Amino acid sequence: MHRFSRHMLSCTVGALVASLALATLATSAFASGRVDLGGLPSAERHDRFIVHFHDGSPERGSAAALQDTLDDAAGIVGGTPFGLAPVRRMTSGADVVRADRTLDHAETEDLMRALAERDSVDYVEIDKRNQLMSTPSDPLVANQWHHFGPFGIRTNEAWDLADGRGVVVAVLDTGVLPHVDLDANVLPGYDFITDFDMAYDGNGSDAYPYDAGDAVDDNQCGYTHPGQHSSWHGTHVAGAIAAVANNGEGVAGIAHGANIVPVRVLGKCGGFDSDIADAIAWASGGEVVDAPANAHPAEVLNLSFSAEGTCSTTTQRAIDGAVARGTTVVVAAGNHGIAAASASPASCRDVITVAAVDDAGARELRSNHGDAIDVAAPGYDTLSTFNDGVVFAGSDTYDVTYDNGTSVAAAQVSGVVALMQSATHVPKTPQQIEALLKASVRPFPEATDEPIGPGIVDAGAAVASALPTVTEAQPFKSRNFAQDVAHGTVYYLIPAGQPGVTGPTQRIWSGHSGFTGIAVTAKDAYTGAEAVIHLRGTRSNGCNGPKRMEDGVICYDKKEGPLTVSYHTADNPGLAPGRYRATFDVEAVGWHTSYRNRFPMAIDIQP
């Protein structure tokens, strides 16, 4: 088996400062300057660098000496020649320098190492360009105050960490209409309305969760009430959760990389507990009589509806089953202005019950309240996908006023839960999600008139709290791994008790063709000794045996772990046999956004 040099690979380097070290390292000369390659992923090419020379060095006192050093370093880098010149000296004494052409990642690393070899150099790093990150460019996003208004949920801070990709949210509601700003994220669903009159579509339960409308005349539902137009409620709620982003249309959903499974349970005059209970079971992956298996079981259920009265046994048992299957159930507190303990499903156990606040952070006046509330979220003038039909469906539009209240507040929390789940390599349990949400809220600006939980959901803080913690051989679930991975960077952390390590790694191109190899340069932070680790495995027999690098492709069984990759000391001279820890940093690029995730691996170096 041949070895892969850095230049035989994609010549791209990432950086990691780790607290653990290699058991055995080959020695090399210690470079006095520190090379910080952490800025490499910020762009495909670079031309600006920050070089800090030691106090008293010739470069600090002489422009000619500085230019000589820059010229010498640039001359070492192979390929097309380039010039390197100072731009300015910073307050800290560091020099900003610039190449007269942009350098690819390999050239960037070579230049930085050439500079760092000088005894006069303290450190070298990329002068990377910072930008507003991940905020969607859709034309109406600025009108969605709930994303980044003073008392919104700070979704823009969460978008730097996750977009919901790989997570399925089931919206149990009136169904979903086709909409240009939603269709790309909608998966097949189901219609669970069994009453023909209530269904409004001429039939009962079927595999077509299209919103047929729910318009009613005065007093048509058996009690005194005014007539109403069709609400298109499910389309509004689904858009709040996962409207497509960066498509040049309308709005952006909170988890705009997530998928929606529409489950129709509400029609003319509402929906029955019996239909809803079956829908809860089906949406979460349970078996339901006369319904096909759900091909896309949801990690999150959104129930943006309410009825006065406590949680029924039927509904509770359905929720118990969903939670046991690992599904987080988010419910609206209700808009009756009463204690949520007297409303259903808000009063059910093991759900996340959401109250609504207005744009001043106060309780939205209709929102239910009390001890049953878990968290609060915006429920006032929240713009989302809609339809302009009065009774039957018309054309796509967007609405800001119709669906105020706890329905859209619950939808926002479902979106945040989807972001949290997409940010972690091991899906959190419903109990963990609830605890993290509550612990990460921000306080109300002032005491609310009625209790509505500990505070307003903070999407950025909640997602940050869900980020994975790397442990050896930790099981993981890779989301859309084979389909979406554009490239990966592998960082190796070595068992405790050894000296600390800093070490850049190769960036390895992936995708359907898989990885061609992995090489890691590790540097002992104390001695400066370096070793290059070549990690390549032999082809394993499918994914049924021990996990290996399979012709350069990471083999996994049902995209779950734990993942252990085995290699041999013959490929890694100087590296002692044993178990090593690693993290696999993946950048996945999808239709609309990209995400970064970290998956742990265990590395076995065998005799």
Q: Is the pLDDT of residue 605 over 60?
A: no
Asked whether residue 362 carries a pLDDT value surpassing 80, the answer given is yes
Confidence at 132, pLDDT banded by 50, 70, 90: very low
Distance CA 127, CA 121 (A): 16
Tokens representing residue 327 in the block: 């599904």
Lowest mean pLDDT among 77-91, 288-302, 341-355, 569-583: 569-583
Structure tokens that stand for 121 in this block: 């150099």
Contact present, 298 and 259 (Cβ < 8 Å): no
Best mean pLDDT range from 99-108, 362-371, 596-605: 362-371
Domains and CATH numbers, the chain: 1-31+470-607 (no CATH), 164-428 (3.40.50.200)
Backbone angles phi, psi at 21, to 5 degrees: -140, 165
Residue 406 has a pLDDT of 94
- For residue 368, pLDDT beyond 80: yes
**From the CA atom positions of the chain, what is the Rg in Å?**
28
DSSP category for residue 312: P
pLDDT for 556 beyond 60: no
- If one counts every other C-beta atom within 10 angstroms of the C-beta of residue 324, the result is 12
Q: Which residues contact 210 (CB under 8 A, 6 or more apart)?
A: 175, 176, 177, 191, 201, 264
> How far apart (Å, rounded) are the C-alpha atoms in residues 123 and 92?
12
The whole-number average pLDDT for the span 22-34 is 37
Q: What is the mean pLDDT of residues 392-397?
A: 95
Q: How far apart are CA 143 and CA 229, in angstroms?
A: 25
* The pLDDT of residue 593 is above 60: no
The pLDDT assigned to 334 comes to 92
pLDDT at 79: 82
DSSP 428: P
Give the pLDDT score at 606. Answer: 55
Q: Is residue 401 very low, low, confident or very high in pLDDT (cuts 50, 70, 90)?
A: low
Q: Is the pLDDT of residue 333 over 70?
A: yes
DSSP state of 292: P
Lowest-confidence segment of 116-125, 381-390, 594-603 by average pLDDT: 594-603
CB 245 within 8 A of CB 252: yes
pLDDT band with cut points at 50, 70 and 90 for residue 129? low
Looking at residue 204, its pLDDT comes to 87
Cβ–Cβ < 8 Å for 18, 503: yes
**pLDDT score for 576:** 59
Q: What pLDDT, on a 0 to 100 scale, did the predictor assign at position 134?
A: 44
* pLDDT value at residue 497: 33
User: For the chain, what percent of residues have pLDDT higher than 90?
Assistant: 49
Query: Annotated active-site positions, please?
Result: 173, 233, 407
pLDDT at 468: 57
Q: What is the mean pLDDT of residues 133-160?
A: 81
Distance of CA 65 to the CA centre of its chain: 48
First-to-final CA distance of the chain: 16
Question: Mean pLDDT over all residues of the chain?
Answer: 75
Under the banding of pLDDT at 50, 70 and 90, the label for residue 34 is confident
Name the percent of the chain lying above pLDDT 70: 68
pLDDT above 60: residue 551: no
> What's the rounded mean pLDDT across residues 182-209?
93
Calpha distance 328→167 (Å, rounded):
12
Distances (CA, A) of 365 to 151, 187, 372, 380, 444: 16, 35, 17, 10, 15
Report pLDDT digits (tens) over 248-258: 999 999 999 99
467-507 pLDDT tens trace: 754 333 333 333 433 333 333 333 333 333 333 333 332 22
**Residue 519 pLDDT greater than 50, yes or no:** no
What average pLDDT does this structure show over 137-152?
85
Higher per-residue pLDDT: 381 or 189: 189
| Predicted local distance difference test score (pLDDT) of residue 15 | 23
Burial call 380-392: b when 16+ CB within 10 Å, e when fewer:
bbbbbbbbebeee
Comparing CA positions, the residue from 336, 361, 545 lying closest to residue 442 is 361
- CA neighbor of 459 nearest in space, from 28, 18, 163: 163
With cut-offs at 50, 70 and 90, classify the pLDDT of residue 395. Answer: very high
Query: Which pLDDT does position 464 carry in this prediction?
Result: 86
Q: Which of 241, 260, 245 is nearest to 169 (CA)?
A: 260
Segment among 11-15, 465-469, 509-513 with least mean pLDDT: 11-15
More confident residue, 398 or 503: 398
pLDDT at 531: 46
SS3 assignment, position 282 = helix
Which of the two residues, 564 and 59, has the higher pLDDT score?
59
Quote the CA–CA distance of 334 and 405 in Å, as a whole number. Answer: 8
Higher pLDDT, 86 or 426: 86
Written in H, E and C, the secondary structure of 47-95 is: EEEEEEECCCCHHHHCHHHHHHHHHHHHHHCCCCCCCEEEEEECCCCCE
Residue 165's alpha-carbon distances to 135, 241, 396, 511, in angstroms, are 15, 12, 25, 17
| pLDDT the model gives residue 223 | 81
DSSP state of 149: S
Whether the predicted pLDDT of 324 surpasses 50: yes
Q: What is the predicted pLDDT for the residue at 38?
A: 67
Of 44-53, 133-142, 277-286, 329-338, which range is least confident? 133-142
579 pLDDT higher than 70? no
- Identify residue 58 by its one-letter amino acid code: P
Of 137, 138, 136, give the one whose Cα is nearest residue 156. Answer: 136
Which phi and psi (to 5°) does residue 125 adopt?
-150, 165
| Per-residue tokens: 569 | 């000391």
SS (H, E, C) 4-49: CCCCCCCCEEECCEECCCCCCCCCCCCCCCEEECCCHHHCCCEEEE
Rounded to whole angstroms, how far apart are CA atoms 121 and 33?
5
Q: What is the pLDDT of residue 577?
A: 59
pLDDT reported for residue 443: 96
Cα–Cα distance measured from residue 121 to residue 143, given in angstroms and rounded to the nearest whole number: 49
b/e burial code for range 429-468 (CB count within 10 A of at least 16 → b): ebebbbebbbebbbebeeebebbbbbbbbbbbbbbbbbeb
